């Protein structure tokens, strides 16, 4: 299987190379701002001409927003707008224009209703101090050196890496990978280089290809599996939640107080921050980056174990954006990384040849008895033990939901996705246009404020955060 995969390495540039990297990122930011100013000028000119009653055929010709069109205009005027352009690689300016073309395309598709999610605003100019320092190289001498301790970038030359590049170098030497681009970025006070490669993967199939496992995500436990997994869960099947951000909150409070005592930037007066403020802010940002790295490492280990161990994995289609609107749980939900777990499972199941099934958002996994199938009308969130009124089963709420999800893949009675589906098949991409089936003989009633049929006992206008579970 041929996939696109990124390999990210930390760099150890010399002071001169660090300044050169910053210069290339600044050149990309300059090209972005120049192109955005040109686009706004053409748009404003056309609007002004329309207000004067000028015929459409006589208006100023529109400017195409594609990368080739913007790069063509840049090459015509670069000697006038940037006489110093030869100091940086041409890839830095192309990187900035490519970012602008993508931003304008996202705004256009969002405005036309062709893009899912929240509305995308029109691009804004990038500040010299607030913008992320990043630059991408697609052509030229982009390679990993044979000593596995250096990389080579156009105009920048050889740069030493902080870690060994053998993981990518072995694939390049074997001919199973091809470098497409390299992106340098400053994060947490350290430069990183990410190689986007076309990789030919031959991952082994899952250890238990015929086994189905349900995964119920939560806050008390990061995930509860329908069956225990050695080395990952406890005897019950629960994966402990490390709560990296909560553990680092005390250190973050101390660093934030130190930052607040320094003379920081002021957007109203244009005052620039002091050097002490910048150093204190860097120390605080290092904690944020460490938390992000720890969370990413833990989620990768969990999703890799699931994809390598089971042939079918069933998860829920959670409304994470809606759940984050709950101010009491937003921080814990963001710290758990529900969306990242689903994203990683989506591509890792494709690599392994396993199957990812996405349950419908309105599937009552927590309210349904995993033994007899009887469903409760409602089950408040604070009740953590499920007690069945029909068969008398008493079981942990999350474990009961995980077993129901596992049984869902076998019965296939409610909305499920296919192999590696990122979204369930529906018209709007959110699963909200489906109708919840009445369970255990309950009559379905039509609520005036929702088009879907809900079982009797579900409160009218129930929030998608709780999914009526």
Catalytic choice (91, 187, 281, 316): 316
Catalytic choice (98, 187, 281, 398): 398
Assess whether 316 carries a catalytic annotation. yes
Catalytic choice (98, 187, 216, 360): 216
As a whole number of angstroms, the distance between CA 412 and CA 406 comes to: 10
CB 431 within 8 A of CB 360: yes
Assess whether 216 carries a catalytic annotation. yes
Q: Which residues are catalytic?
A: 216, 316, 398
């Amino acid at each position: 299987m041929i996939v696109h995969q990124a390999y990210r390495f930390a760099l150890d540039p010399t002071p001169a190379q660090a300044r050169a990297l910053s210069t290339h990122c600044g050149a990309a930011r300059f090209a972005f701002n120049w192109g955005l100013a040109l686009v706004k000028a053409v748009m404003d000119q056309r609007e002004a001409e329309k207000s004067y009653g000028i015929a459409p055929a006589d208006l100023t010709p529109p400017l195409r927003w594609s990368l080739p069109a913007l790069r063509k205009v840049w090459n015509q005027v670069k000697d006038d707008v940037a006489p110093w352009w030869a100091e940086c690689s041409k890839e830095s300016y192309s990187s900035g224009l490519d970012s602008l073309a993508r931003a304008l395309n996202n705004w256009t598709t969002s405005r036309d209703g062709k893009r899912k999610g929240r509305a995308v605003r029109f691009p804004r100019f990038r500040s010299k101090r607030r913008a992320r320092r990043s630059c991408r190289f697609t052509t030229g001498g982009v390679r990993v050196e044979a000593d596995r301790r250096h990389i080579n970038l156009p105009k920048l030359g050889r740069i030493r890496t902080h870690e060994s590049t053998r993981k990518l170098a072995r694939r390049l030497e074997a001919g199973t990978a091809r470098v497409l681009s390299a992106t340098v970025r400053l994060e947490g006070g350290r430069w990183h280089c990410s190689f986007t490669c076309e990789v030919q993967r031959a991952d082994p199939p899952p250890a238990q290809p015929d086994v189905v496992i349900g995964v119920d995500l939560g806050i008390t436990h990061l995930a509860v599996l329908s069956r225990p997994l050695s080395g990952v869960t406890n005897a019950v099947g629960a994966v402990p939640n490390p709560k990296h951000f909560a553990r680092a909150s005390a250190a973050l409070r101390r660093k934030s107080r130190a930052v607040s005592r320094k003379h920081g930037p002021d957007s109203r007066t244009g005052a620039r921050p002091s050097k002490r403020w910048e150093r204190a802010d860097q120390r605080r940002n290092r904690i944020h980056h460490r938390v992000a790295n720890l969370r990413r490492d833990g989620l990768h280990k969990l999703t890799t174990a699931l994809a390598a161990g089971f042939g079918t994995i069933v998860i829920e289609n959670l409304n994470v954006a809606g759940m984050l609107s709950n101010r009491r749980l937003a921080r814990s939900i963001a710290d758990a990384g529900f969306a990242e777990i689903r994203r990683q499972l989506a591509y890792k199941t494709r690599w392994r040849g396993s199957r990812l099934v996405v349950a419908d958002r309105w599937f009552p996994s927590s309210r349904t008895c995993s033994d007899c199938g009887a469903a409760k009308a409602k089950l408040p969130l604070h009740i953590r033990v499920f007690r069945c009124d029909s068969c008398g089963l008493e079981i942990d709420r999350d474990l009961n939901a995980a077993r129901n999800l596992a049984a869902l893949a076998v019965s296939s009675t409610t909305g499920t996705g296919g192999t590696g589906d990122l979204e369930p098949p529906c018209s709007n991409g959110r699963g909200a246009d489906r109708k919840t089936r009445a369970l255990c003989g309950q009559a379905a009633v039509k609520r005036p404020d929702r088009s879907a049929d809900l079982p009797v006992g579900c409160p009218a206008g129930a929030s998608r955060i709780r999914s009526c579970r």
